[in-house]
């Protein structure tokens, strides 16, 4: 069984500049920082910023979404609207605002009924895939459940209950967002090894690493299954 996101990695040319951006505009706490990488806190999830280098690389032009308390939404909108060309979209009663970071990643802030202040967590990640049906089957075998099948539109939304994963055929979404390529992310799993075995025959690689079991999917994305212990 899969649950919460553990991390998302973005490839950035200059980690110090990207770190300054996320610190200044989203007020994310810096957990660690080196010349080639930085880690920022998005609630209990890590946002990892990594300079180009060895695989797994961070994602490029990745669209992802983070939660903010609904009581703060208007303040966030007013603050960011002074600096960015914001796009706003409503999903029922829940509003989201979209803007881009300096590396071309489409950042979404979605209002939710959550405790805490500021950016409180990561709730959505979008991957670009070549064959949508095959990708849905692959991630379904890992434990993601389909919650919105928009296959005719070139997208399918799956979920663990704590992380929504959107699989997109190459396309433009809201705010001209694109799904990320060669994305590196981690998800908490009850049993990383047995979960990875479910896709071992279809994965490009399954490797034991220090943080858990890393699965490389057929589109070149890296998902590391991390123990909840």
Q: What are 159's strand-pairing partners?
A: 145, 164
Rounded to an integer, the average pLDDT of 133-149 is: 97
First to last CA, the chain: 13
Full DSSP string of 90-153:
EETTEEEEEEE-TTS-EEEEEEES-SSSS--EEEEEEEE-S-HHHHHHHHHHHT-EEEEEEGGG
What pLDDT digit, counting tens, does each position of 3-29 carry?
999 999 999 999 999 999 999 999 999
What pLDDT digit, counting tens, does each position of 68-119 carry?
999 999 999 999 999 999 999 999 999 999 999 999 999 999 999 988 899 9
Contact 221, 183 (CB under 8 A): yes
Dist CA 178 CA 226 (whole Å): 27
Cα angle 205, 184, 7 (rounded to 5 degrees) comes to 125
What pLDDT digit, counting tens, does each position of 188-227 carry?
999 999 999 999 999 999 999 999 999 999 999 999 999 9
Q: What are 99's strand-pairing partners?
A: 107
3-class state of residue 62 by DSSP: coil
pLDDT of residue 115: 87
Q: Which residues, in sequence order, are CB contacts of 82 under 8 Å at separation 6+?
A: none
Dist CA 200 CA 192 (whole Å): 12
**Domain count for the chain:** 1
Q: What are 109's strand-pairing partners?
A: 66, 97
At 228, the pLDDT band (50, 70, 90 cuts) reads: confident
Domain span including residue 21 = 2-227
What pLDDT digit, counting tens, does each position of 164-174 carry?
999 999 999 99
> Residue 94: which CATH number?
3.10.180.10
Rounded to an integer, the average pLDDT of 150-163 is: 96
Q: Which residues, in sequence order, are CB contacts of 78 under 8 Å at separation 6+?
A: none
């Amino acid at each position: 069984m899969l649950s919460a996101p553990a991390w998302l990695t973005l490839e950035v040319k200059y980690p110090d500049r990207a770190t300054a951006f996320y610190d200044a505009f989203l007020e994310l706490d810096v957990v660690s920082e080196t010349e080639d990488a930085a880690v920022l806190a998005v609630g209990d999830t890590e946002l990892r910023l990594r300079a180009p280098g060895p695989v797994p690389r961070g994602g490029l032009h990745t669209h992802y979404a983070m939660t903010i308390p609904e009581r703060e939404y208007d303040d966030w909108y007013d603050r960011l609207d002074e600096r960015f060309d914001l796009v706003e979209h409503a999903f029922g009663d829940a509003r989201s605002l979209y803007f881009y970071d300096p590396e071309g990643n489409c950042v979404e802030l979605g209002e939710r009924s959550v405790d805490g202040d500021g950016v409180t967590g990561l709730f959505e990640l979008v991957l670009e895939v070549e064959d949508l049906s095959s990708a849905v089957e692959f991630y379904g075998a890992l434990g993601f459940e389909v919650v919105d099948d928009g296959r005719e539109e070139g997208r399918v939304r799956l979920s663990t209950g704590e992380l929504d994963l959107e699989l997109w055929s190459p396309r433009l979404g809201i705010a001209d967002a694109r799904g990320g390529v060669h994305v590196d992310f981690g998800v908490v799993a009850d049993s990383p090894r047995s979960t990875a075995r479910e896709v071992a025959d279809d994965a490009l690689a399954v490797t034991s690493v220090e943080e858990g079991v890393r699965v490389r999917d057929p589109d070149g994305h890296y998902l590391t299954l991390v123990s909840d212990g």
